[in-house]
Amino acid sequence: MRPTWKGSISFGLVYIPIAVYPATREEKLSFRQLRRTDLSPIKYKKVAEADSKEVATEEIVKGFEYERGRYVVLSDEDFEKVKIESTHSIDITDFVDLHQVDPKFFYKPYFLEPQKGGEKAYALLHKALSGTGKIGIAKVVISNREHLAAVKPDGLFLILELMHFASEILSAEELNRGPSTALNEKELKMAQALIDSMSSDWEPEKYRDEYRTAMLEVIEQKAKNKKIPARAVAPPPSTNVVDLVKVLQESLNRSKSVRVKRGSNGARRSTSSLVKQKRRAAA
């Protein structure tokens, strides 16, 4: 895997050379819009709202709407004036307790790999953060944009996780909380029992994108001109819960039944494993 960029972590007078690698990837299916008659891909033209005429690339400028219908036009020189220099340095300014940071602030992780000459300082920072429960808060420039970020210990490595600025975090105060509802002790104990019966160790590998797998199977079948049988649509669950205790008890019984079946038959196979088995059988 090629690094996104190489640079350093710095805090105080400590300088640690590192390489930055993506820690996640998106697995999205991409679809094109086509003309029905000949499957020709559709292109989009840039047209002006005023007269619906197509606009040539050299006639397009960038503008910011500061009032409704009123714009300030910005030139390339204007953007150069505020362009942030990419120093390829992760400059830690503060260390804070991880539990103090709302999880909504974090959104994109990167692996940090120590480079030659920085192994000892890297290991020292990793161990120090692991022992204190703190993370480093830093500023970093990626693709000419300044980001708030955190340096965290993760297993044997450090990760850099991009963060939202405080102004980007929305408040939940605007949500409609609805009328306050009194809960009785029996309902609470039943809910806790259901949670306990469904509790297990965190195993991220068992959670798969079933929609993507099923869609790929449909695409494969259509590519082979095979007929795809229609799937029965399950009725939506009722939202009018009258007897909450009864619903909780039924859920608890179902959860126990599922666990018994899994224990006797082994782990349930995922949709993706079934698809692979079908493909091997058809080959």
For residues 106 and 110, what is the distance between their CA atoms, to the nearest angstrom?
A: 12
3-state DSSP helix/strand/coil % of the chain, to nearest 5: 35, 25, 40
User: pLDDT tens digits for 240-282?
Assistant: 556 777 877 888 888 777 776 666 655 444 444 544 554 454 4
Going along the chain from its start, the domains and CATH numbers come out as 5-26+83-166 (2.40.290.10), 185-195+209-228+243-282 (no CATH)
**Residues 51, 101: contact at Cβ < 8 Å?**
no
CB 121 within 8 A of CB 127: no
161: closest CA among 206, 97, 109? 109
Q: Which amino acid is at 24?
A: T
Q: Which pLDDT does position 239 carry in this prediction?
A: 56
Torsion angles phi and psi, residue 112, rounded to 5: -115, 120
DSSP 69-114: TEEEEE-HHHHHHTPPP---EEEEEEEEEGGGS-GGGEEEEEEEEE
Residue 70's pLDDT is what? 92
C-alpha neighbours within 13 Å on the C-beta side of residue 35: 7
CA–centroid distance for 141 within its chain: 20
Cα–Cα distances in Å, from 48 out to 28, 43, 56, 224?
Answer: 32, 16, 10, 43
In angstroms, rounded to a whole number, what is the distance separating the alpha carbons of residues 149 and 144? 15
Q: At 224, which amino acid appears?
A: K
Report helix, strand or coil for 10.
strand
Residue 124 is predicted with a pLDDT of 95
Give the chain's residues under pLDDT 50.
267-272, 274-275, 278-279, 281-283
CB atoms under 10 Å from CB of 22, counted, come to 13
Pair 113, 168: CB distance under 8 Å:
no
User: What's the confidence (pLDDT) of residue 267?
Assistant: 46
pTM (two decimals): 0.71
Residues making up the chain, counted from first to last: 283
Burial of 11 (0-12, 13-18, 19+ CB in 10 A): middle
Residue carrying the six token digits 């949670």: 195
What is the Cα–Cα distance from 113 to 116, expressed in whole angstroms? 10
